[in-house]
Structure 1
Amino acid sequence: MRKLFFVLLAVFVVFLAGCSKEELPASDNGTKGNDLGSEKAKTEVPEKMEGKETIFPLTGIETDEEVDNRIISVMVNNHPAARPQSGLSEADIVFEILAEGMITRLLAFYQSEMPDVIGPVRSAREYYFELANGYDALYVYHGAANFVNDMIANRGINYLDGAIYDNDGNLFKRESFRKAPHNSYLLLDAVYDMAEGKGYETAASHEPLEFLANEEVENLSGETKKHVKIVYSNNPSWIVEYSYDEANGNYSRSSDGEQTIELNSEEPIVLDNVFIVETSHEVIDDAGRRAVDMESGGSAYLIQEGHVQEVQWENREGRIVPVKDGELVGFVPGKTWINVVPTNPGMQQSVTFSN
C-alpha cells in the first residue's frame, strides 16, 4: 500500500511537470506573439494614420492621396479681350500684378486641381518668374523680351515657353474664337512630360503654407466688411471687386463690374482668402514694363470670412505670406487670390471696404 502511494505520487509529479512544460511555452508564445504583433502593426500603419493629416500645401485641404506632384505656375492673360479665361477656378493661388500700363496679369498656381486647359497664356516678367521660383513651381509662359528670356535661362528657372511650342497641338493650341495675342492656350496634361524631357523634376515635396484650424476660422478677428474694391486705374476694366457670400462662406470676384467666370462652363470664380499687398513699382522701359519689389515686405490686408485684418506681408523663403507681430497669420483652408498694389498711390487710396 505504501509502495503504491509512492508510485502514484511519482506519477502525479511527472504529470504536473509535463503540464508546466506545456503551459510555459504557450504563455511565452502568447507574449511574444503579442509583442511581434504590436511591432508589425506599428511598421504597417501609414504615416497619415498616426495623427498626421495629408493636406495640399497651397490650400490646406485634406486629401487621402499622396501629394507629390510639383506645382505648375502659368502666366494668364487678363486683358479685357482675354476674358473670360479658362482654368482659373481650379487654381490654388492666383497673383494679380500690374504688367505694363494699367493692365494686370495673373500668375496662377496649380497642384490640387489640374484643369485640361488654361489661358489665354501671356508673356513673362521678372517678378512673376521669381515668384514661381520661390514656390519651386514650373514656370509656363508664352514669349518674352529677349532680356527677360536671358534672365530666365541664366537664373536656372525651370520653364516652358509657348513661343517655342506655339500651336504645336500638344502643349499649346491657338484658338480661332480669339485674336492673337489673346488666343494661346496651355494643354496642361502635357506639362509634366515636356518638363521631364527638359530634365526638370516633376515630383516634389512642398512645405505647406500656414493654415487656420476650424476653431480659429470660427473666431476670426478683424473689422466686418463684406465687399472690397481695388482700383488699379479709373478705367473700369482695372477695377477689381470681391464680395463675400455669407451663405457659402466664400468670395466671388469681378472686373469691370462683371463677375469673373470660367469661359466654357460660366462657373463663377470663388475663393476663400483675399490677400492685398502693397509694394514699390517702378517703370523701367519705354514699353511700360515694371520692376516690382516682391522681397522687402510691407503693409497688407488679409480678408477672410467677411473680416478684414491689417497685417504685414513678408517674403519668407520665396513665398508671400501674412505676418502680424512677427508671427505668421494662417490662411483659411481653400483658394487664395493675392492682389499686389503700388505704394503710389498706396492701399489707403486704392483699396476701399464696404458692407
Structure 2
Amino acid sequence: MTGLMAAALAAALAAGCTLSGGPRDDSRGKDTSTPSESESRAKTSSALAVKIDNSPSARPHTGLNQADIVYVEQVEGGLSRLMAVYAQKLPKAVGPVRSARETDLELLRQFDRPVLAFSGAQRKLLPLIDAAPLTAEPPGEAADAYFRGTGRPAPHNLYLRPHRLMSAPPGSPALTTGFRFGPAPAGGKATASQTVSYSAARYSFTWSESRHRWLVAMDGTAARTTDGERVMAGTVVVQYVKMRRSGYHDSLGHHTPYTETVGAGKARVLRDGRAYDVKWKRPKAKDGTTFTTRDGKRMTFQHGQVWVVFANAS
C-alpha cells in the first residue's frame, strides 16, 4: 500500500465516512449483500486473519464465534486487541475491524501466507506489512470487502465481508499452527475459572459443565456476539511470553508492546474443566507453536475454538 493510499485511508477512517463499494448498515454488523464467488478478490488455500477492535465501544463483536483461533494481544495503554483466524467457516460479517501491529507479522508467520484484514497501520509499519509473507487486504486495497455500521461512531463501526476476500473457507489444513487435538491427557488440576489481566483489560474464562466449554468474559462482563450468543472456547491457552517496548506509539505517546511469540516458555492450557501447566516452543517464525506436558508428551486440545491469551512472563 502506497503512502498516498495510506494517507487517504487514514483520512477516511478519521472522518468516519462510508467506504466506496460498501453499504452502510446497523450497529449489529449485519451485511445484507450476497457477493457471488466471482466477486471474491482471492481464491486462496490460506487462512483469513482479521484484526478486531476490543475496546468497550467495539462490543459486542460480530462473527467471532466462527473463528478457529482467537489470539488476545496487549496494545498501547494496557488495552487489548483480538486476532481472529478463520479456516473452516467464513461468517457473513466480522468486526469491528481495527489496525495492525508489528507483533501480528511474527505471529502470522506460522500460517502459510495468510490473508490479513485490518483497517490500516502506522505509516512506518506499512513497508514491513508489504514485505511480510502474507496478503494484506485493508480497505485501501479491498474497499468492496468492508462496510460501515451506522449505530456506532468511527472507528468502532468498520466490518469485513470475508467472502469478498476469498470464495470459500480454505479448510483446517490452512491452520499450520502446531496445535494437536484429541482426548485429554492424564493429570491436570480441576479448575473453575482463570483470569488474565493487563493494566486496562481483563479476561476471565469460566468452565461450564453443561456446555462443556469455557465461557468468556471481558472486563467483568459476559462476552456475547451481536446475534446474542455467548462467546465460548473449547480450549484456552494462557501463553507466557516476553513483552518489550516497540518503536511504535500512538498519538498520546503510549508505546506499543511487542509480543515475542518465537522462542520458548511456560503456558497454562485449560480444557474439560482442568488446567495443565505445560511448556511452549516455537523455534522459528515459520514454525508452529507446540505445547508439551511435563512428561514431554504433546498437549492435546479439545475440539472447537481455541483462545490464546498472551500474558507477560516477567
TM-score, length-scaled by structure 1? 0.68
Is the 8 Å Cα contact of residues 70 and 204 (structure 1) preserved in structure 2?
A: no
Is 1:153 aligned to residue 130 of structure 2?
yes
Superposed CA offset, 1:98-140 (max 9, x none):
0211111111010111100000011111221322231122111
- Superposed, 1:99-114 pairs within 5 Å as 99-114=75-90
> Equivalent of 2:52, from 50, 57, 76?
76
> Equivalent of 1:222, from 155, 164, 188?
188
Is 1:257 aligned to residue 223 of structure 2?
no
- Equivalent residue of 2:244, what SS? strand
Shift in alpha-carbon separation, 1:259–1:163, aligned structure 2, 3 A: farther
Superposed CA offset, 1:17-43 (max 9, x none):
xxxxxxxxxxxxxxxxxxxxxxxxxxx
1:209: Cα distance to partner?
4.4
RMSD (Å) for aligned C-alpha atoms: 2.2
Is the 8 Å Cα contact of residues 79 and 103 (structure 1) preserved in structure 2?
A: yes
Is the 8 Å Cα contact of residues 129 and 139 (structure 1) preserved in structure 2?
A: no
Distance in 1, matches of 2:126 and 2:276, equals 38
1:254: Cα distance to partner?
0.4
Return the index of the structure with the highest Cα Rg. Answer: 1
What residue in structure 1 maps to residue 240 of structure 2? 278
Letter in 1 for 2:121: A
Is the 8 Å Cα contact of residues 235 and 301 (structure 2) preserved in structure 1?
A: yes
> Equivalent of 1:300, from 249, 253, 267?
267
Unaligned runs of 5+ in 2: 1-43
Q: How many residue pairs end up in the alignment?
A: 260
Distance in 2, matches of 1:138 and 1:290, equals 23
Distance in 2, matches of 1:278 and 1:270, equals 21
Distance in 1, matches of 2:238 and 2:191, equals 15
Unaligned runs of 5+ in 1: 1-67, 196-201, 345-355
Is 1:184 aligned to residue 158 of structure 2?
yes
> Equivalent of 2:180, from 205, 211, 232?
211
1:225: Cα distance to partner?
0.7
- Equivalent residue of 2:261, what SS? coil
- Superposed, 1:313-332 pairs within 5 Å as 313-315=280-282, 317-324=286-293, 325-332=295-302
Shift in alpha-carbon separation, 1:204–1:109, aligned structure 2, 3 A: closer
> Equivalent of 1:340, from 298, 310, 313?
310
Is the 8 Å Cα contact of residues 282 and 288 (structure 2) preserved in structure 1?
A: yes
Is the 8 Å Cα contact of residues 109 and 133 (structure 2) preserved in structure 1?
A: no
> Equivalent of 1:232, from 194, 198, 203?
198
Is the 8 Å Cα contact of residues 88 and 172 (structure 2) preserved in structure 1?
A: no
The structure with higher relative contact order (CA 8 Å, sep 6+) is 2
Shift in alpha-carbon separation, 1:203–1:343, aligned structure 2, 3 A: closer
1:75: Cα distance to partner?
0.3
Is 1:144 aligned to residue 107 of structure 2?
no
Is the 8 Å Cα contact of residues 121 and 182 (structure 1) preserved in structure 2?
A: yes
Shift in alpha-carbon separation, 1:208–1:121, aligned structure 2, 3 A: closer
**Which region of structure 1 is more displaced relative to structure 2, 268-277 or 287-296?**
287-296
1:154: Cα distance to partner?
2.0
Superposed CA offset, 1:261-283 (max 9, x none):
111x1101111101001111112
Distance in 1, matches of 2:76 and 2:287, equals 23
Letter in 1 for 2:54: N
